[in-house]
Amino acid sequence: MSSPNVFHYHCPVTYLNDWVSYAKSENSKFSIRSWSEQMGLPSHSLVVMLLKKQRPLKLKHTDFFNHGCKHTTKESLYFQALVQYAQCKLPSEKIFQEKILKELHPQNNFKITEIEDYKITADWVHTYLIALTEIPCASWNIEDLTTQIGRGVTQERIKSCLNRLIEKNILIYKNGVYSSSSGRITTKNDLINKAAQNYHKEITKIAIESLEQAPANREFQSLSLAIDPTKITRAKEMIRDFRNRFTQEIQGGSHSTIYQLNLQFFELPKNKVKKTQLKERKQSCSKLSPLL
């Protein structure tokens, strides 16, 4: 068994567990207890809990493990950055920490799948490029794409989106032409949920701007209605069903233009009536004489 290379890891705890396995294969007398003493830790039970993820690995633990794993200076900095990455909560924090890890990586190629999924979900340019594959003879020249997309989207941003989609096998490039595969981002976690929120924020801003388009080229509808909360699930099912049927019907024929469909169904500012108040109102209404 070869010594684990910290630069090949995205999870610090996985790396530590592999390092322990390697140490045991090299030395039959190796134990967590003796290793903990060597690192200067007062109790080996802490190390056991950290390795089993029963307690979170924190920045204050990195000096001990850097000493225990005999890391070089650069390996120590990378391991510390891995621990910091694992502690990140916000997408912006994760992306910033990813840049640090990339700078510390010998080949500058550190990449987290979770972050890449976040970027694809959050940036509407990705969905535009995927839709563009449906238009015959579409120009994929970066300058042309920059002009088509507009809205201040830079060439660098478009290039990054294209490369990201190719790396994830969502777009396939062959003989100068891009096509879309069946690949989709299906990861469901807090990071991707946050990405979806950012996507809808950006696309809603574009929808507001699109109100300036000629009425013949757009359709905006809105209504406010009182509903029974128990029907919310059914309402969401109907919206999704409509979206699927709409896609199947409208995507047929000759493709030459990319449109965006936004369906928005949400609760307006809170003005709920408590059940006790509702019951009282019903009783009060039942006592009223009918209008003649």
Q: How many CB atoms lie within 10 A of CB 30?
A: 15
Confidence of residue 120 (pLDDT cuts 50, 70, 90): confident
Overall fold of domain 112-211 = Arc Repressor Mutant, subunit A (1.10.10)
Taking only the tens place, the pLDDT of each residue in 94-119 is 888 888 988 888 877 666 666 667 77
Q: Give residues with Cβ within 8 angstroms of 24, minimum separation 6.
A: 30
262 versus 277: the higher-pLDDT residue is 262
pLDDT at 56: 92
**In the predicted model, is pLDDT for residue 182 greater than 90?**
no
Residue extents of the structural domains in the chain: 6-111, 112-211
Q: Give residues with Cβ within 8 angstroms of 117, minimum separation 6.
A: 168, 185, 187, 191, 192, 195
**In the predicted model, is pLDDT for residue 258 greater than 60?**
yes
Residue with tokens 């990705």: 126
Rounded Cα gap, residues 130 and 180, in angstroms: 6
Rounded Cα gap, residues 69 and 107, in angstroms: 22
Dihedral over Cα of 254, 256, 257, 258: its sign: positive
pLDDT at 266: 74
Compute the average pLDDT of residues 129-154.
Answer: 87
* Most confident range, picked from 152-161, 227-236, 237-246: 227-236
Count Cβ atoms within 10 A of the Cβ of residue 32 and give its class: 0-12 exposed, 13-18 middle, 19 or more buried.
middle
**Amino acid letter, residue 273:** V
Q: How many CA atoms lie within 13 A of 18 on its CB side?
A: 15
CB-CB contact of 128 with 258 (8 Å): yes
Average pLDDT of the chain is 80
What's the predicted TM-score (pTM) here?
0.57
SS3 content of the chain, % helix, strand, coil (to 5): 60, 5, 40
Phi, psi (rounded to 5 degrees) for 180? -100, 135
